[in-house]
Amino acid sequence: MRFVHTADWQLGMTRRFLGAGRPGQAAGEAQARFAQARLDAVAALGRVAADEGAAFVVVCGDVFESNLVGPDVVGRACEALRAFTVPVLLLPGNHDPADAALVMRRADFARRAPSHVTVLDQPGIHEVAPGIEVVAAPWPSKRPLSDLVADQLRALEPAGPGVVRVLAGHGAVDVLSPDAHDPAVIHTDQCRAALADGRVHYVALGDRHSTWALPGESRIRYSGAPEVTAHDETDPGNVLVVDADAGGAAVRPVRVGRWAFTRERAVLDTDEDLAALDTRLGALAGPERTALRLTCEGTLTLRQRSRLDDVLAGHTPVLASLEVDTAELVTRPDDADVEALGLSGFAASAAAELASEVEDPEALDALALLHRLAATGGER
């Protein structure tokens, strides 16, 4: 039995750093492209399910960013789901729990959702087709008071002959959770035991946005988010194609995401370093889909620092986002910086005095301003 395991679509997600206030572009333009990319990833995984001959798609929580998303988000999600050719099972997670406000019980969702979509808002066994069962462990609230996956596993008998059973859950597993006292943590020993005695044949999880398998038990997995959501994720942008039976499971990740949230570090001490950074930024694949956090370190003269500003300004309008950390970058004026100003008399003396105050940020700012004014003929 083949199916597609996915999770954490978080449709309606916003990212404040995407393109906000960039020169030459309206604030939020990159955010709009990012929102569309999340829908594009959903459409892509629907095509994967069709091409792979999957029996169904299970979305293990956080279909929506919250239960408060607007009707536009709901409507576009339903249109994306309409293109699927196989059953789609949607599990409520911590972002969209099955409480009184569940977005997937709202009238706008019910009115537009296609008939092949099933909301797993009730825990327990759901028959997808003869011989195919999904055991749902939905979040009933934002703060569950027990291990919801273990609760369902304890209620199960071993699957009958010819039945393939998948557990769909959401939340942090014990070997990854930073909070050992969280009552909702998923206990992996319970999952291992259920796989060993045939109560389930695969444990499909959501919540972790990075693709991940439990060491030593590849049938306990996070699919990761189908499109990146943060800079600290490892291998996001995948869905998992799973072939499962009573004897085990074979899993293949398939890439559907197109965006990249990356971190880069640049050591800048020379003109050659600045030129190399310019080339490096220009060589980024899909810059309009790249949110970059760049850390700069080293020592530059004022002239070189001005060149760095120009390099960054040239790439900022193209990238989806460029955040620059210069806390480790030192600016030290040299004689050439003062000479380049072309000043004489009192002004030249003042500039030389400012250049000597290398530990004073205000002096450096003032000298940098003189440099910019000299470079532009005083137009700024």
List helix spans (H) across 212-360: 271-282, 302-315, 335-339, 345-356
**Lowest-confidence segment of 57-61, 218-222, 301-305, 313-317 by average pLDDT:** 301-305
* 236: CB partners within 8 A, 6+ apart: 209, 210, 211, 224, 225, 226, 227, 228, 229, 257
> Could you tell me where in the chain the CATH 3.60.21.10 domains are found?
2-255
Distance CA 64, CA 103 (A): 8
Q: Higher-confidence residue: 365 or 136? A: 136
Of residues 245 and 345, the one with the higher pLDDT is 245
The arithmetic mean of pLDDT across residues 96-123, rounded, is: 97
Residue 4 near residue 202, CB atoms below 8 Å: no
Q: Which of 83-97, 290-304, 329-343 has the lowest average pLDDT?
A: 329-343
Topology of the domain covering 2-255: Purple Acid Phosphatase; chain A, domain 2 (3.60.21)
Percent of the chain with pLDDT over 90: 78
Q: Which residues contact 85 (CB under 8 A, 6 or more apart)?
A: 46, 49, 50
Enter the tokens of residue 361: 């940020």
pTM of the predicted model as reported, rounded to 2 decimal places: 0.87
322 by DSSP, 3-state: which?
strand
Say if residue 166's pLDDT is above 70.
yes
- What is the average pLDDT across 89-100? 98
260: tokens are 């990249």
What is the arithmetic mean of pLDDT over 235-259? 96
CA separation for the pair 167, 337 (Å, rounded):
66
Distance (Å, whole) CA 276 – CA 231: 23
Q: Tokens 């997937």 map to which residue?
A: 104
Average pLDDT of the chain is: 90
